[in-house]
Structure 1
Amino acid sequence: MPGDGAVADKRHAPATLRNRDAITAVLADWLPASGTVLEVASGSGEHAVHFAAAFPQLAWQPSDPDPAGLTSIAAYRAEAALANIAAPVALDAASARWPLDSAAAILCINMVHISPWEATLGLFAGAARLLAPGAPLILYGPYVEPGVPTAESNSAFDASLRSRNRAWGLRHTDELKAAATDAGFAFAERRAMPANNLMLLFRRT
């Protein structure tokens, strides 16, 4: 279970401070006007409280498979004291059982490359169960694109990830699009982001 919100429970992911405003600007275009946004793999929880504050008309549901992550999210949630952010829930993207039955949108930041491919397949499968036709599934992170030179920093990051875990690594966007199609999603839009990242929008068909 998440902790009681003690400051000592809070984790800090430096990248969140650098990318949260750029991500928010894209989310303003892609998120629905109302409903619950499920954030898969919320990590420290810093993104969750930032987005909940930026979109007060939406209900924000953070999640993570790591108990320490859930504890950190709970601490940031307690500090923020926002009415539209729910208590974090344990969610393993690769699992066939998710703790929600529906959502208006799903957001997943920096999970796809730091998890086995099965987690990405599970993400699409789970999103297909929860989302109504037309609803968005939004991914953020570094990817490899066909016909687009991969930045040296991304290539080095990919090598580092694979040295830590052979099941990790930057995914190819064409593989993501194929997995999305198989799960009942259509690729809708790509946005280039700072630091050689991308935001990818898929919609439930």
Structure 2
Amino acid sequence: MDHLPFSPACENNKDTILAHLRQEFADGVRGVLEIGSGTGQHALWFASHLPWLTWQPTEIPQSLATLAPRCAASALDNLLAPQPLDVSDAPWPLPVPDAVFTANTLHIMAMSAVEAFFQGLHRHAPDGCRLVVYGPFNYDGKPTSPSNAQFDASLRARSAHSGIRDFEAVDSLAEAAGFRRQADHAMPANNRLIIWRRRQA
């Protein structure tokens, strides 16, 4: 698969994330909807190491060409064919299963899309749904490291709508969507892995 689209960040963080997913998804989770699957490296790695899960990778329509080749080259029965999904669409074209996973997406999306993401979860996620978000966050309005401050500046220089999100704002959106935070794990390279769970109706 050397010729396929490749993300060094995915390669560097996949094992650390997997350790948490293996624990979080061990009890009662049978299907995962991944938002913004990128090159498909995470989808392939997690599906291969969590064989009891059905993993559904998705991307915005214009990025499916980056995601599709790696998924097509896989022989995994539990890795589904990638599907188009824009979180700003209403309703979403796919059902939300037991869990939703997304990595390094919220700081790329416009804040309006982050809000739409949680609105979509509010509409579609079942009771008990786990939400796992990986990426950098600011806390108390401040970056957690000089490297994150530099990364945020580079994001905003490339696109006015991008930027590292404030944890408190995202947690508030999750709460409004019916999700209660379960864990906030420090990860390598000044990233976080935050887990929410939808409350029972």
Instruction: Please give the TM-score of this superposition, normalised by the length of structure 2.
Output: 0.92
* Residue 146 (structure 1) shift: 2.3
Question: In structure 1, how many angstroms separate the alpha carbons of the residues matched to 2:71 and 2:150?
Answer: 34
Residue 123 of structure 1 and its aligned partner are, at CA, apart by: 1.5
Q: Do 2:143 and 2:149's aligned partners in 1 also have CA atoms closer than 8 Å?
A: no
Cα gap change, 1:73/1:7 in structure 2, threshold over 3 Å: closer, same or farther? farther
After TM superposition, the runs of 4+ consecutive aligned structure 1 residues lying more than 3 A away are none
From 33, 42, 52, give the equivalent of 1:38. 33
| 2:60 paired with 1:65 | yes
Between the aligned partners of 2:142 and 2:155, the Cα distance in structure 1 is 21
163-172 or 146-155, which deviates more:
146-155
- Residue 132 of structure 1 and its aligned partner are, at CA, apart by 1.9
Q: Normalising by structure 1, what TM-score? A: 0.90
1:175 to 152, 169, 173: 169
Alignment partners' CA distance in 1, 2:142 and 2:153: 18
Q: Return 40-49 or 100-109, whichever deviates more.
A: 100-109
Partner SS state of residue 138, structure 2:
coil
Superposed, which structure 2 residues align to 1:34-113 within 5 Å? 34-67=29-62, 69-113=63-107
> Using the alignment, how far apart are the partners of 2:115 and 2:95 within structure 1?
18
Gaps of 5+ in 1: 1-5
The question of whether the paired residues in 2 share the 8 Å contact of 1:94 and 1:123 is answered with yes
Count of residues in correspondence between the two structures? 198
Identity of aligned residues (%): 38
Q: Does residue 142 of structure 2 align to residue 152 of structure 1?
A: no
What CA RMSD, in Å, does the superposition of the two structures yield over aligned residues?
1.8
Q: In 1, are the aligned partners of 2:137 and 2:143 still within 8 Å (CA)? A: no
1:62 alignment partner, SS class: strand
Deviations 1:74-96 (A, max 9, x none): 21122221000111010111222
Q: Is the 8 A contact 1:61 1:87 kept in 2?
A: yes
Does structure 2 conserve the Cα–Cα contact (< 8 Å) formed by 1:38 and 1:62?
yes
Is the contact made by 1:60 and 1:86 (CA closer than 8 Å) also made in structure 2? Answer: yes
- Given that 2:29 and 2:99 are in contact with CA atoms closer than 8 Å, whether structure 1 keeps it comes out as no
